Amino acid sequence: MKTNALRFGRLLTLGLAAQIIALTGAFAQTDGAASDWDGSLDEVPARARLIAATTGVGQLDELRVGIEIELEPGFKTYWRTPGGPGFPTSIDWEGSTNLDTAAFKWPAPTRFDVLGFDSFGYIDHVIFPIEIIPIEIGQPVQLRANVGYLACDDICVPMSADLTLDLPAGPAAPSQFANQIDQFRARVPVTDGVMVGLNFEGAGLQGTTDAPLVQIAFSATEPFVSPDVFVEGPEEIFFGRPEMRLDGNTVVFTVPAEDAFGEEQVNISGQPLRVTLVEGGRALEARINPEWGGFDVAALSPAIASGGGVGIGGLGAAGAAGATGAAGLSIFAVLVFALLGGMILNIFPCVLPVLSIKLLSVVGHGGGSTREVRTGFLASVAGIIAAFLVLATLVVGLKAAGQTVGWGIQFQQPLFLVGMILLLTLFACNMWGLFEIRLPGLVSDTAVRHSGGTSLKGHFFSGSFTTLLATPCTAPFLTTAIGFALTRGIGEVYAVFTALGVGLAMPFILIAAFPKMVTKLPKPGPWMITVKKVLSLALVATAVWLLSVMAAQVSLLTASTVAALMVVVALIFAMRKFIPARAGRAVPVAIAAVAIFAFATPALLPRSEVASAGVEVRAEVAYQPFDPAAIPALISTGKVVFVHVTADWCITCKVNEKRVLEVGDVASALARDDIVVMEADWTRPNDDIAAYLATFDRFGIPFDVVYGQDTPNGKTLPELLTANAVLTALGNASPTLRLALN
């Protein structure tokens, strides 16, 4: 028993190390889309640099860049309205070339205390998104930025940075900083709350002229958890810490106002004010001109008007979260959801590519001993959980780097696709009996011996490999768990991903607990050769599917080249038996050379430009380009908008399209003139789509949502669509459509 424990420990360690190296390599980029840091945190309390979302200017009429400020732990810098003493970040672009305008964006702030004052800003790290408009499209842009900001803890230190970044002419490929910039772009308050599920309901003044109170109300599509509001107005007016009352999806803030110079009368009636509501990762900005009396709180929320609801006095966002935390899910509930989500993933279309590997794991143990079956399946369990821990480590690393993270985003990386295609090719060749030799390194201990069913390392690797192939899509319960994990700390991330791994591994755990389920199967014999060949066809089909994803993501030429190289791999193995044994020793070297060339192919061959968005008609359904900004206007004209977020690597998305959206009554309904269908293709990394998903606290696909007059904030649909679910959501979105569909 002790020996087995040590073997499993070594397996887990080796597997984690190998996969971390592989995945890190797939995601790592060095594209020069950043200036140097202006200093070191060992010497100063903060440092800054200029980063860009693209490696070149391409033919873009708007370039996305950002000022990244990293502070010593506990240090803060300020928002556009500091609150207490301080000043906001400022930029002088003098010396820049081919720069027309630079629109500076302010992510939603946090409330904190500096030297006893209630202040607003950012703690530890922030990126200020900036939209650059070049004078001449397609020409190089040289950015020269002098950045002034304040870094405060017990003391405040004025900081200044001179930053330089040149964006050359050429393809505007996404840089390694695109997701980081997008993460903070998603935090910039919007003025139309439809996209974020927040609404401004009204404002007014209460109290007296010497102690006026600004009353502001908001509503949300989901119950509030930790809302906070920031009020900005004339410089001579100071706004104190708000008190708020919650009633489920409604919150009313009461904000005291006083004259900053000590005057008894505060002239605030009719004054233009800007208010910013922050709720988790969402933020809404509204302009108000409050008058005495203002709006009817009783009509909005009788409970709040009568003094009910959840009252929270004089607290910022942190205090609100603590007081209303019961409205959110507990970590125990989330872990249960993660376990259920992982179990359900076993029967989702996403696992179709790995079905043959699972079947082979079962039939290969027919007639075996109880001990062999149990240890073999426990090794697969270890591989599955190890792969999830690797994904958790990757998530933690990306979050620490400030990048946007999501579920299944590894399928957006060409190097990951090449690695999976190569491994599938090796599996298929081995299952066809083209080789039984030992290749050097990790491959010989895993991929080759996997099919024989006698290697614990093989079972471990097959478990981890199935995990990586089974995670391009989400499933019920899994969405909630992933959303919770990706917005929490390191401990929650690892706990949730471990529970997901246990859920996905549950069939293997059950077999390990009851090994007679498979030992009673026929013993492996000549019939297994036929079974292997049949099951290998599923692996070939999976490789073809990944090649189609690569064609859409990179280019058809790249996918064709990689496919040809995989054919070369198979031919090398097939020809091995016809060459002298001495020459056969060069086979592993030749395979390694072909593999290296395959990994280099995406970088060596030109990447295809993204096709201009246009209407695409499939079946009866006309898919419009994704344009979230147009949704409110469409709703105001009586239209219903159906948004479908998909990707070529999301099998569940394609199943939804072929079995529900593009057939029968659903296709006929979506083809109506009063329904607009928008398709957001996430096959490639896309900042706008990632930000849109983040507004719903979603980090993976499939994702479908319906907007209409009765559901202006959007009604989300289940991951696995049914005709009834889609038709019901469409009918609930509009009274006119409800009658027509019935």
Question: Can you give the residue ranges of every domain in the chain?
Answer: 46-175, 193-325, 330-604, 616-741
* Burial class (CB within 10 angstroms; exposed 0-12, middle 13-18, buried 19+) of 319: middle
- The answer, yes or no, to whether residue 47 has pLDDT greater than 90, is yes
pLDDT for 377 equals: 79
Residue with tokens 């270890």: 382
pLDDT in tens, 363-378: 655 556 677 778 877 8
Give the residue among 404, 363, 358, 410 at the shortest CA–CA distance from 384: 358
SS3 of residue 117 by DSSP: strand
Which residue type, as a one-letter code, is found at position 78? Y
11-25, 93-107, 309-323: which range is least confident on average?
Answer: 309-323
More confident residue, 40 or 12: 40
22-36, 417-431, 508-522: which range is least confident on average?
Answer: 22-36
- The answer, yes or no, to whether residue 277 has pLDDT greater than 50, is yes
- The answer, yes or no, to whether residue 124 has pLDDT greater than 60, is yes
76-90, 129-143, 480-494: which range is least confident on average?
Answer: 480-494
Q: What is the DSSP track for 204-270?
A: EEEEETTEEEEEEEEEESS--SSEEEEEE--TTEEE---EEEEETTEEEEEEEEEETT--S----TT
More confident residue, 722 or 427: 722
Question: Rounded to whole angstroms, how far apart are CA atoms 338 and 483?
Answer: 11
Whether the model pTM is above 0.75: no
- The answer, yes or no, to whether residue 648 has pLDDT greater than 70, is yes
Q: Does CATH place domain 46-175 in 2.60.40.1250? A: yes
pLDDT for 523 equals: 60
- The answer, yes or no, to whether residue 480 has pLDDT greater than 80, is no
SS3 of residue 153 by DSSP: coil
Q: What is the DSSP track for 304-346?
A: HHTT-SEEE-S--HHHHHHHHGGGS--HHHHHHHHHHHHHHHT
Q: Tell me if 607 sits within 8 A of 554, measured CB to CB.
A: yes
For the chain, give the mean pLDDT: 78
Plot region of 351 (φ>0 → left; ψ -120 to 50 → alpha; else → beta): alpha
Q: Do domains 193-325 and 616-741 have the same CATH topology?
A: no
Distances (CA, A) of 565 to 4, 425, 433, 558, 571: 39, 10, 19, 11, 10
Give the residue among 269, 284, 109, 259 at the shortest CA–CA distance from 203: 269
Backbone angles phi, psi at 693, to 5 degrees: -60, -40
Distances (CA, A) of 118 to 122, 230, 292: 13, 11, 26
Q: Tell me if 126 sits within 8 A of 82, measured CB to CB.
A: no
Q: What is the mean pLDDT of residues 415-421?
A: 83
Q: What is the mean pLDDT of residues 598-626?
A: 80
pLDDT for 524 equals: 56
Q: What is the band of 443 on the pLDDT scale with cuts at 50, 70, 90? A: very low
Q: What is the band of 286 on the pLDDT scale with cuts at 50, 70, 90? A: very high
Q: What is the band of 453 on the pLDDT scale with cuts at 50, 70, 90? A: very low
pLDDT in tens, 242-266: 888 887 788 999 898 887 666 666 7
User: How far, in whole angstroms, is CA 4 from its chain's centroid?
Assistant: 38
Q: What is the DSSP track for 53-95?
A: SBSS-TT-SSEEEEEEEEE-TT-EEE-SS-SSS----EEE-TT
Helical pair 414-431 and 456-469, crossing angle rounded to 10 deg: 130
Fold of 616-741: Glutaredoxin (3.40.30)
- The answer, yes or no, to whether residue 613 has pLDDT greater than 80, is no
Structure tokens at 635: 């709703």
pLDDT in tens, 503-560: 888 888 888 888 777 666 656 556 666 767 777 787 788 788 888 888 878 888 999 9
Q: Interior CA angle at 273 toward 269 and 277, to 5°? A: 130
Q: Does CATH place domain 193-325 in 3.30.1490.480? A: no
Pairing of strands 715-716, 198-208: unpaired
Structure tokens at 477: 């319960």
pLDDT for 325 equals: 31
Structure tokens at 358: 């699972």
Strand locations in 372-421 (E): none
Structure tokens at 166: 């040149």
Distances (CA, A) of 718 to 458, 480, 681, 724: 36, 12, 18, 11
DSSP conformational letter for 295: S
Question: Rounded to whole angstroms, how far apart are CA atoms 143 and 67?
Answer: 12
pLDDT for 308 equals: 54
Q: Tell me if 158 sits within 8 A of 48, measured CB to CB.
A: no
Q: What is the band of 228 on the pLDDT scale with cuts at 50, 70, 90? A: very high
pLDDT for 262 equals: 64
Give the residue among 49, 281, 66, 91 at the shortest CA–CA distance from 181: 66
Who's near 416: CB < 8 A, 6+ residues apart? 23, 26, 410
Who's near 52: CB < 8 A, 6+ residues apart? 33, 34, 63, 64, 65, 66, 165, 167, 175, 177
- Taking the CA atoms of residue 685, residue 696, residue 726 and residue 638 in that order, the dihedral angle to the nearest 10 degrees is -100
- Looking at the chain, the whole-number percentage of residues with pLDDT higher than 90 is 21
- The answer, yes or no, to whether residue 324 has pLDDT greater than 60, is no
